[in-house]
Chain A
Amino acid sequence: MKYRQFSKKLSDSRIDMALVYFDGRHSALSPCYVRYLTGCKPVGETVLISYPDNEPILITSVEMDVTRLSGRSGIKAVYAEDLAAACAGIVRTKQPGNLLVCGGEDIPLKLKETLESCTPGNCTWDNGPVEDIALGSFEEEKENFEKSAQIALEGFAVLEKNVAVGVKDYIPAAHAERVMYRLGSEENFIMLSASNHNRLLHPPMDRAFKEGDIVLTELGPCINGCFVQICRTITIGEPSEAVKRNYKLMTDAFESSLKFVKPGIPSSEICKEIDRVMTKAGFGDYCKPPYMRVRGHTFHSGHSNPGNLTEDNNRILTEGNVIVIHPNQYFPDSGYLLFGEVVMVGADGPILLSGFDRRLRSV
């Protein structure tokens, strides 16, 4: 279990106590440190209290989750209706010389104020110690990411088969989700939008597909906390020339960006390269919100490097980082289009976990 490594890190860093907070909101976009360290996914607001030389303890505000948390993690778990009061009680009893808080950005105001009043001047808010462990342990999770990526591809194959004129948009999403769960995915993030000129991406909305629709989908299964994402476009009927041209532009931009997927390179270079390709083709004005959001983002169960692929995020890529690269954006002549693959940063360059499938699908 990673919490043993974490305890050692606390010892090495001369930290007396660490409080790792999780607010109960699982997200594909940010890691759950409590889960990463304990190996057990909490179903609600949970805190891990860790020491350099004592056994850790889990505190959850979900009474029914106590036995499962304890059994799965091997860590004593207790229930507290008022998590802030319970944490304050422990901190006051133990009186640590210094306190490390991880996951602090989601901590409620009351708990933050309580912790700071219990440890005046000695409270450090830093996710680094957990993130460092995760960054150094990427090999252990490679298999999870590979499996997630394969599940995403199988999910998409099923989704594509179920797209047809007259079918409600939530039906192919439901089919894809079923197959992904059956293959072992623990959660699925699915977007599916359809229109003859998409302006945005959203979850299915009860639309019956029509001839000429462009179906956009993002599929994101998850194995042991390791989410991935693939982005695809399917046309119902023959795609227009604009759709074909713009889709090819996205795949070209993706391919071109891969040369920047190497350890030591600022992640912003990926975004800049995609923007460069788009700008050269005359779509420079569309390389910003609301026409696109980011050119991709991180997935990891224990760290957040490099984060969003944007022009101003200069975090450095390191070996083992997993990102989706998606040049997704709005084009004035074809509407919003999607293409994206999940990529791992290998020692010598990109490892395409979901492959590189350039085909624009038509049904």
Chain B
Amino acid sequence: MKTMSGVLIRGCTRPAVYKIRREEYRQRLKKVQDGMAAKNIGTLVVYGDTLDYANVCYLTGWVPKEGYAFLIVNSSGDPVLVVSQPSRDMPYTKTINFIEDIRTLGPKDKLEDIIRSTASGEIRFSEPIDKAPHKLVAKAVGAGKPFETDREIIENLRKIKSKAEVGIVLEAAELAKKCINRICENQKYETENQLYADLSFYAKAGGAQDVRVMINIEDPCFRPPENRRLPDNFSIIQLYIAVCVDRYWCDLTAQLDCDGGVLSQRPMNGICEDVINLIKPGVRIGDIDSLLQKVSGLVPYRYISGIGLNLEEEPVSPDVRLERNMLLSAFVPDSKGRVYKRLLLMTKDGCKALI
């Protein structure tokens, strides 16, 4: 299920300032190649575009500025990055990417030909090709039969976070928290857009690559801010903010009292211990989701999922079992029964709230 991933248009708006060392990218690539060898896969074609960039970014740190890209990973050697926009992505890509072999698609340069000329053995796609735009599929693989999919190799790696990844997500979380604090510093807001403008400003001036904001003012669900006046009478605003730092996301919610446009926070009173004690390694994510739905009953969509390069990523499938070093974003109740979205890190024995 998709959530709010389509609210903005171009994925990250600022290229990476690499906080993850080159060596970690090399290790990721090696693990992918080991996974391919174990499954007898010769070539894995990894797809990425401005919005769904996670897999390509996981292996390269790079996000297409426009259009889409494919990373061709063979079972050994360096990968080949194929970008769709020669005039834009080529110089851009070469400037900020460490991949040596970068090629472009064109009328005579089809992905299929590039794959065939570089691939060896069985070829797999990293995403289900039937969900890709049909025109792109035709352009990329011609009229031939689309390749089979293997999502597991990269997903299994991505769902366990490294120390560096946890650090970046935590940085995003701290920035999101600061943004919420800043809008509660006595200024008066007249419209939803003013609120959005300031949240976006505090995040981006703080170094965020991207920001997404949703609000809920007596609505059934969160929604994007609009050009509407905030209520004149006292009301409660539920705020959702997602901040992206160095490609990695963190999202939080806050409950705000709005008194004539002046905002103040209803702080979270710790996380309900009974709930937190149930989130531990080995438990199915679907069981935790059902539990949180019972105790929260707030939002009609997912209550817990992995977070990282995507706002919602594995572990999210109901049957996936929690493991150490998974990062989770979950709606959890506090001791007073109010529900907040918080960042949880799976530990050896349980989980801990990072913010």
Mark A residues whose CB is within 8 Å of B. Answer: 23-28, 41-45, 61-68, 81, 105-110, 112-113, 170-171, 173-175, 177-182, 184, 186-187, 189-190, 199-200, 202-206, 289-290, 292-293
Contacts and interface: CB of A to CB of B under 8 A. Distances in A.
Contacts of B187: none
Contacts of B130: 108-110, 113
A290 B91 contact: yes
Given A184-B193, A189-B10, 7 more contacts: A24-B51, A45-B6, A63-B300, A67-B220, A181-B194, A186-B226, A199-B95
A-B interface, 5 closest residue pairs, ranked by CB to CB distance from nearest? A289-B87, A24-B6, A181-B197, A178-B201, A174-B204
Interface stretch (B40-48, B131-139, B258-266): B131-139
B91 A187 contact: no
A212 to B, nearest CB: 19
A63 B200 contact: no
A204 B12 CA distance: 11
B87 A28 contact: no
A43 B7 contact: yes
A8 B103 CA distance: 47
Contacts of A184: 193, 227
B346 to A, nearest CB: 26
A106 B5 CA distance: 17
B242 to A, nearest CB: 13
Contacts of B15: 202-203, 205
A106 B86 CA distance: 21
A25 B7 CA distance: 8
B4 interface: yes
Contacts of A108: 130-134
21 contacts: A24-B2, A24-B5, A27-B9, A42-B6, A44-B5, A64-B4, A64-B300, A64-B301, A67-B221, A108-B133, A170-B207, A178-B201, A181-B193, A181-B197, A182-B197, A184-B193, A187-B8, A200-B95, A202-B65, A204-B13, A205-B17
A109 B4 contact: no
B90 A290 contact: yes
B88 interface: yes
Contact of B205 (A25, A112, A171, A182): A171
B132 A190 contact: no
Nearest to B65: A202
A72 B200 CA distance: 24
A44 B193 contact: no
B205 A109 contact: no
Contact of B2 (A61, A66, A290): A61
Nearest to B6: A24
B303 interface: no
Contacts of B14: 170, 203-206
A62 to B, nearest CB: 5
Contacts of B86: 289-290
Given A63-B301, A290-B86, A175 B227 contact: no
A205 B207 CA distance: 10
Interface in B208-257: 219-224, 226-227
Contacts of A181: 193-194, 196-197, 200
A45 B204 contact: no
B3 interface: yes
Contacts of B197: 177-182
A63 B2 CA distance: 8
Contacts of B221: 64-68
Given A109-B137, A206-B17, A292-B87, A64 B222 contact: yes
A62 B4 contact: yes
B98 interface: no
Contacts of A171: 205
B133 A26 contact: no
Nearest to B93: A200
Nearest to A107: B134
Given A25-B51, A170-B204, A171-B205, A178 B133 contact: no
A168 B196 CA distance: 22
A289 B200 CA distance: 34
A309 B134 CA distance: 26
B1 interface: yes
Given A25-B51, A108-B132, A289-B86, A189 B91 contact: no
B204 A25 contact: no
B132 A43 contact: no
A2 B100 CA distance: 50
B129 interface: yes
B100 to A, nearest CB: 18
B7 to A, nearest CB: 5
A179 B196 CA distance: 11
A44 B2 contact: yes
B3 A62 contact: yes
A61 B2 CA distance: 7
Contacts of B6: 24-26, 42-45, 62
Interface in B1-36: 1-10, 12-15, 17
A182 B194 contact: yes
A187 B9 contact: yes
B299 interface: yes
Given A64-B300, A181-B193, A182-B194, A200 B133 contact: no
Given A43-B4, A62-B4, A112-B134, A68 B223 contact: yes
B216 to A, nearest CB: 10
Contact of A199 (B3, B91, B135, B223): B91
A129 B344 CA distance: 49
Contact of A64 (B3, B12, B65, B131): B3
Given A25-B9, A64-B301, A200 B91 contact: yes
Contacts of B289: none
A241 B131 CA distance: 52
Contact of A170 (B146, B205, B300): B205
Contacts of A290: 86-87, 90-91
Given A64-B300, A189-B9, A203 B65 contact: yes
A293 B222 CA distance: 39
Contacts of B17: 205-206
Contacts of A289: 86-87
Contacts of A105: 133, 135
Contacts of B8: 26, 187
A203 B63 CA distance: 12
Interface in B299-330: 299-301
